[in-house]
Structure 1
């Protein structure tokens, strides 16, 4: 804790330094998560797990995240986002090591619970820090942080693929990745913005569920992440089994989706400034509808992949803009608002795969994926609620 105290007692970082620091944390977190996903098949094979047994481990990871996110919002309201970010950034790096050395399913579940919990809490805390930096800039910049998370994910996936190709053990791989992550985090933590307890209310609940002002945004976050999770889990399967594409073409589908999502996030701040957050979100809902329709209308894999690209562009800015708006909702502490949206979004991400899979058993995979158009419609209709207090110029110089 001495390192944390050292961070919080120094002078306030300049806005540019703070932005770079938060960007580095988003990037490192995206890379760490991607390194884990790249080695899931190796962990499964190493422990001799069935698909059902592996799903128990992944479920434990999800439970850890879902429990930690609302709690993190409450803790941030009490001690500030800097302390939570500092502790959880290091904890998340350390927790990555554990699955690589777990000798049994029960210990793997415990390891993944800790990894999921630390990652969920860090997600809330670093978004709260991002909201503080955004206030200092007095203009939308939240999407740029999430864009760098996507870039970190792409690079982390490439590193993971290289580790697999070189035959590196999962334990050694995760240990090296964790050490690199700690190095980045320790440098970045020095540039964060010190903050104290929230003052929006003196009675924030320990579990940050959406208030009336946040409910529409929570629904939009849920729908957007359902679409993102569904394409991630079922998009390649539809290309390969539904359209008969080659394995390489099927893999390219998600790559196009991810690249368009990263590109959309890099453009998101300019778009939000130019057209308003609500209009960008509503347009995103329309792109989701158009993209799903294009992907399912014919039998040409390249056309379907183009549709995935539209979906990626459509969902790209939705969640970052919701996080920004939630942090500026009147009467709601920023950490609590962000935690509520993170919980809603992550729930949607988890629901996407089983929802589509269950429906596919009844109405075919094409029919199940078509339901995503309805979620796009909900995003379009409720997108106007994605707003918050204006980023006033006075905030740019406040401490």
Structure 2
């Protein structure tokens, strides 16, 4: 699927398939948009509820726990009912629960609201990636990175919207409820465009999905998403508490992170075709790790934001490559993606939570040194996983 000749020989996709690709891309974008729109409000929520760094880290366990609870179930659900219908259900469920964190009045209610959000967004992540795999198969060329680029575009726009909302003192609940209404209208169109799954082909190939290569891919994903999730949750706190920037500017570092991640994912399919999965992952891991390290050494708004930008670029293709690699081989895509996603989302579970105690013991700046370390480790494990999969396919 990744050979140039296959790409050149692929016929122009039908109009319905192009619509399915757009609908799925919009679903990725909306998922990222809603998450990023809440990020600039984290310092506001922290201050309003009177939370310490450690307490905030505990609350931020919620999305990871919720995701882990739902991913395996949703992976099996996509095999039974199809990735398109399950994606639709999980998208609408997301719009129903996103107001929860804005209504929290103490640590327990914030934690429960974030768990609920994690349940639906984690399930949506598995379902929409399974749908993306179906479209990629129909396209007969790699396009997975482009879907994740839309997720990143959503985070860029969402960070901007959230920053404006925080600067104008719009409450988180009001902001998220308004966005949910708008996105629901578009999803009504998208739900009619999804394609059916390649069920017959996948069932004929076999159903065994728990392979050691998937575990290794999952561990690589843990490291990548640990760095990604921690950058999202803690960069605004770092800018406010350590660099003392104004409330309306706390999203700048995360905005730089998401812009460069978007650029990396936009060109990601071409990079992978040119360099191969192994060299692409290795090269970008080096860029992300070194760039973030230099940003932390400088400890200024401008250079730190550049460091977060390098980290975003370095992490950009990792998850798309890991998911495409997981879908290779026999068995339905959904359960295999659920295995890798479940492992990977432990990064969101462990990363933001672990930074809380580290920040309390030293500072947010010192705690952020785990980001370049895990970006490098994600690259090493990712290279090993891709090579193992190549031997598996052979």
How would you bin the TM-score normalised by the shorter chain? 0.7 to 0.9
Deviation at 1:358, TM superposition (A): 4.0
**Aligned residue number for residue 342 of structure 2:** 343
Task: State whether residues 57 and 105 of structure 1, in contact with CA within 8 Å, keep that contact through their aligned partners in structure 2.
Answer: yes
Report the Cα distance in structure 2 between the residues aligned to 1:171 and 1:90, rounded to whole angstroms.
17
CA distance in 2, matches of 1:17, 1:191: 6
Shift of 1:14: 2.7
Task: Report the counterpart of residue 82 of structure 2 in structure 1.
Answer: 80
Give 1:119 deviation, angstroms. 0.9
Aligned mates of 1:161, 1:367 — CA distance in 2: 25
When residues 363 and 159 of structure 1 are mapped into structure 2, their CA distance, relative to the original with a 3 A threshold, is: closer
State the TM-score, normalizing by the size of structure 1.
Answer: 0.80
**Could you tell me how far apart the structure 2 residues matched to 1:133 and 1:73 are?**
17
State the 1:62 CA deviation.
3.0
Conserved in 1, the CA contact under 8 Å of 2:67 and 2:118?
yes
CA distance in 2: counterparts of 1:238 and 1:21, whole angstroms: 36
| Contact residue 78 and residue 196 of structure 1 kept, 8 A | no
Q: Write the mapping of 1:275-290 to structure 2, written as runs, cut at 5 A.
A: 275-290=275-290
Q: CA deviation at 1:21?
A: 0.9
When residues 20 and 389 of structure 1 are mapped into structure 2, their CA distance, relative to the original with a 3 A threshold, is: farther
Is this contact kept in 2: 1:31–1:155, CA < 8 A? yes
Structure 1 segment 144-183 matched on structure 2, within 5 A: 144-166=146-168, 168-183=170-185
- Distance, in Å, in 2 between the alignment partners of 1:37 and 1:256 is 14
State how far apart, in whole Å, the 2-side matches of 1:253 and 1:27 are: 20
Structure 1 partner of 2:309: 309
Distance 1:255 1:79, change over 3 A: same
Cross-structure match for 1:376: 375
Q: CA RMSD in A?
A: 3.3
For 2:300 and 2:178, locate their aligned partners in 1 and report how far apart those are by CA, in whole Å. Answer: 42
**How far, CA to CA, are the matches of 2:371 and 2:330 in structure 1?**
33
Q: 1:91, CA displacement in angstroms?
A: 1.1
2:223 counterpart residue number? 223
- 1:88-138 Cα deviation digits (max 9, x unpaired): 111111222444456776655544333221111001100111111111222
5 Å-filtered alignment, 1:98-113, equals 98-101=100-103, 109-113=111-115
What corresponds to 1:195 in structure 2? 197
Helix, strand or coil: the match of 2:212?
Answer: coil
Contact 1:57/1:108 (8 A) holds in 2:
yes
TM-score, normalised by the number of residues in structure 2? 0.81
Work out the CA distance in 2 between the residues paired with 1:301 and 1:99.
Answer: 28
Matches of 2:239 and 2:167, distance apart in 1: 25
Aligned with residue 95 of structure 1, among 97, 102, 109: 97
Residue 5 of structure 1: aligned partner: none
Which segment is superposed worse, 213-222 or 376-385?
A: 376-385
Shift of 1:231: 3.1
Write the deviation string for residues 320-348 of structure 1: whole angstroms up to 9, x where unpaired: 111111122x2342111211222222211
Does 1:34 pair with 2:36? yes
* SS, match of residue 62 in structure 1: helix
- Give the total of aligned pairs: 371
**1:69–1:339 contact (8 Å) kept in structure 2:** yes
Counterpart CA distance in 1 for 2:223 and 2:292 is 14
For residue 214 of structure 1, what is the aligned residue in structure 2?
214
Tell me the distance in 2 between the aligned counterparts of 1:82 and 1:180: 21
Structural mapping, 1:245-284, within 5 Å = 246-247=245-246, 251-284=251-284
2:134 maps to which residue? 132
- For structure 1, the 5+ residue unaligned runs are 1-11, 205-209, 391-399
Unaligned runs of 5+ in 2: 1-13
Separation of aligned partners in 1, 2:363 and 2:102: 37
Give a deviation string over 1:169-200, Cα, whole Å, max 9, x none. Answer: 54443332222121111111111111275525
Instruction: Give the direction of change, closer, same or farther, for the CA distance of 1:376–1:89 in structure 2 (3 Å limit).
Output: closer
Partner of 1:23 in structure 2?
A: 25
Superposition pairs for residues 317-336 of structure 1, below 5 Å? 317-328=317-328, 330-336=329-335
Matches within 5 A, 1:225-240: 225-235=225-235
Which segment drifts farther, 32-41 or 181-190?
32-41
1:276 alignment partner, SS class? helix
